[in-house]
Amino acid sequence: MLVLLSRAPRADMPYWRGRRVLAACDALVWPAMVFLIIRTAPFSTGVFGLVASSLALLVAVRRLHRAVYWNHGYRFTTLRWGGAMLLALAVGVGAKLMS
């Protein structure tokens, strides 16, 4: 038996002054970090590096388009992943201080 469940569409994000510029910065920073990590790797990444770099650039263009032209549907990546990264950094600093 096939059961189809539909989810209600997500509500639009509230618009505030400067949101479009901040969303554009957020949309470009994360793929740029991935691109820089791949390109500055201390070992040869070969074909994987080329493919991953080009995918990061394509993702950046897609995210920038969504951040600028579909701003009501853009959700900030920094808010989603920044807290987890900050927590990991705090645990690392705490472990370093304890040792």
Per-residue pLDDT of the chain (99 residues; tens, 9 = 90+): 677 888 888 888 888 899 999 999 999 999 999 999 999 999 998 999 999 999 999 999 999 999 999 988 888 888 888 888 899 999 999 999 998
Please indicate, yes or no, if residue 81 is contained in any of the structural domains.
yes
Per DSSP, the three-state class of 90 is helix
Please indicate, yes or no, if residue 59 is contained in any of the structural domains.
yes
Query: What phi and psi values does residue 74 have, to the nearest 5 degrees?
Result: -85, 135
Q: What per-residue confidence (pLDDT) applies to 88?
A: 95
Please indicate, yes or no, if residue 10 is contained in any of the structural domains.
no
Distance of CA 42 to the CA centre of its chain: 23
Q: How many domains does the chain have?
A: 1
| Contact criterion met (CB below 8 Å) for 66 and 24 | no
User: Could you tell me the residue range of the domain that residue 68 belongs to?
Assistant: 19-98
Please indicate, yes or no, if residue 79 is contained in any of the structural domains.
yes
Q: What per-residue confidence (pLDDT) applies to 74?
A: 87
Please indicate, yes or no, if residue 8 is contained in any of the structural domains.
no
